[in-house]
Chain A
Amino acid sequence: MKTLEELMAIRNKMQGQVNLRAEDENAVRVVVGMATCGIAAGARPVLKAFSDAVQEKNLKNVMVVQSGCAGLCQYEPIVEINQPGKEKVTYVKMTAEKAAEVIELHLIGGEVVSKYTINSVMK
């Protein structure tokens, strides 16, 4: 390795990994329901889609965590997005494909994907 470019290439490659270990109170928390009901309904690929995207797209400030059963088992897989200072958004019946949309539009674009939220489904 002889140049700064090479050094920075390794640094950037590793950032996604080591950033995962920083704790940030202002982080956006993506909470995926991973109780038995969630897993049975297919929460695992959803979780994977979110956590991969965070590292691949190097989304700083986004933290993907798991939680237990929220009591709305028929709507699983459920994903909650908590942004400090904003109202919690709850997405239901998620899939990896829907997750990709949420990542692009909501996490990156800042716009709630209303068609997948619990409010639109329960109406």
Chain B
Amino acid sequence: MYRSQVLICGGTGCTSSGSMKIADKLEEEIAKNGLADEVKVVRTGCFGLCALGPIMIVYPEGTFYSTVNIDDIPEIVEEHLLKGRIVTRLVYDETVAQNEIKSLNETNFYKKQKRVALRNCGVINPENIEEYIGVDGYQALYKVLKEMTPDDVIKTILDSGLRGRGGGGFPTGKKWQLAKDLVKDADQKYVCCNADEGDPGAFMDRSILEGDPHALIEAMAIAGYAIGATQGYVYVRAEYPIAVNRLQIAINQAKEYGMLGDNIFDTDFSFNLEIRLGAGAFVCGEETALMTSIEGNRGEPRPRPPFPAESGLFRKPTVLNNVETYANIPQIILKGVEWFTSMGTERSKGTKVFALGGKINNTGLVEIPMGTTLREVVYEIGGGIPNGKKFKAAQTGGPSGGCIPTELIDVEIDYDNLIAIGSMMGSGGLIVMDEDNCMVDIAKFFLEFTVDESCGKCTPCRIGTKRLYEMLEKVTSGNATLEDIDKMEKLCYYIKNNSLCGLGQTAPNPVLSTLKYFKDEYLAHVVDKKCPAGVCQDLLTYKIVEDKCKGCTACARACPVGAISGTVKQPHVIDTSKCIKCGACMSKCKFAAIIKE
């Protein structure tokens, strides 16, 4: 029996900043102080507040230590664990209020969150199946196998209104129903999980695999029972080594405890699960390409119909859901439809996890009820924009989505609202941009990604995105005409309408949505040959303001190409023909005498 437990984040973010070494050091110090029988160290999954990692929480007090350094450990052990004195200087600022330590749930970051899919992340040890059972794990599977028919299960999921969290938002129950009923005499069916998560910036699926892998296993077994499948595959990218490792441990433990394998809970139902590693191609997040890849072929999409529910993996009826979608299933079964539908909006029920990134103070993972406004996410949960800059736009859905401009910041986030304003939910990347971001450059950035990741099977995507990218380059280099903008828009719709799979069909979205909301920025590049945000280098010149220059020579010494000349204590001059626009001089100038325009 332990009187205290120290939970330390073992997610990828905190691990990369040394949390596992800290955990070892903790155990060492705890033993040294003779507390090994009293205090237990638990390595958990992601807490969400990645910006402040490495993170640890000491229970029962619930003290939240952030940006912990390995050298702080002896102090924490001796002061807090041995003597009960909280080391205030290491506690997350927001939880310290006038000599009183607030609960983590009262901080702005967590207050508006509702953790459903991430419920166990940062709470349990993902490498111990008994901890998962301790938080009611595998009871949903028991309930399904013993008390419900497959049709009951499907009806429950249908009634819950759960929609695919991978991006498309297709009703999950409907998917299961089709897989169960469409082909009557199938000899084999499959349950697959999409853990490919290629959207740059999104990492909720990884965090669930790392923090709560048994929830996925339980949900996939439930899906298997519902549609009549005995075999499941989790397709996860090889770039997620911690996630792969924990999932494999979890699968082994589930087999050992009889939660996977033959005759689960003494019923006729048998289910097995295997991991398939992806090599990190974005297109393999597309369902047909993913299944082609599992089959052992090159990851390329195939035309639909037939849809996977009819002819999927190995041409058998297949259900494919995303990790976050599955993570909701066991709780819907246990807590009921009413509980789930009490969260969210009319047509989007439950919660959604977002990976907050870009120009925002609290980068990390947040889970919010559907219908929360973007303003709440950015300013309350996210803690606002760093350095007092102004919010310009947020990109949702990554390279397949679009941007939400300032005037729409009060939009309630759900599937339909986002589509209506030209963006999409996507897998949940949410990248915040401030006034220093050029929207044309952002569009170019995402398009460069899709050009790179286009598999090349169909022409509209392979050649179309490349040509579109070249047009954007023309804009950012100041060589485009107004006619080019019209051509660009036409090409966007052509690519959308003619591409084979979701990758191509959504690739032009970043261009279209920036054209829609930030046309003036495009025009500034084309007509005035200026980049208002000061990002596009071809349109910038660096200048020294004569009045402000004190002639300290710092800039001239910093310039890597010797483009700055002048004598000491006299205003300097930049030779624009030599200048490579690296900005080194600007950051060196103490008098703000160098400007770019």
Contacts and interface: CB of A to CB of B under 8 A. Distances in A.
B135 interface: yes
A18 B123 contact: yes
A96 interface: no
A1 interface: yes
A21 B259 contact: no
Interface stretch (B82-90, B275-283, B413-421, B447-455): B82-90
A52 interface: yes
Contacts of B137: 11
Contact of A7 (B2, B3, B83, B138): B138
A16 interface: yes
Contacts of B265: 1-4
Contact of A10 (B2, B5, B82, B134): B134
Contacts of B571: none
Chain B CB within 10 A, most for which of A23, A34, A63, A64: A23
B5 A17 contact: yes
B38 A7 contact: no
Nearest to B135: A18
Contact of B3 (A1, A23, A51): A51
A98 to B, nearest CB: 18
A66 interface: yes
A2 B5 contact: no
Interface stretch (B59-67, B172-180, B387-395): B59-67
A47 B103 CA distance: 23
A34 B82 contact: yes
B248 to A, nearest CB: 20
Q: Which of B3, B59, B104, B134 has the most CB of A within 10 A?
A: B3
Given A15-B134, A68-B85, A25 B103 contact: yes
Given A10-B134, A23-B104, A55 B258 contact: no
A80 to B, nearest CB: 12
Nearest to B63: A65
A14 B120 CA distance: 14
B126 to A, nearest CB: 13
A14 B84 contact: no
A67 interface: yes
Interface in A14-67: 14-18, 20-21, 23, 25, 32, 34-36, 39, 47-48, 50-52, 55-56, 63-67
A88 interface: no
B104 A13 contact: no
B136 interface: yes
Contacts of A51: 1-4, 38
Contacts of A16: 1
Contact of B60 (A13, A25, A64, A68): A64
B139 interface: yes
A18 B124 contact: yes
Nearest to A67: B84
Interface in B46-88: 57, 59-62, 82-85
Nearest to A34: B84
Contacts of A65: 60-61, 84
Given A15-B134, A17-B131, A56-B1, A7 B123 contact: no
7 contacts: A4-B146, A7-B139, A7-B142, A14-B131, A21-B7, A34-B83, A35-B83
3 A-B pairs closest in CB distance: A66-B84, A14-B134, A51-B3
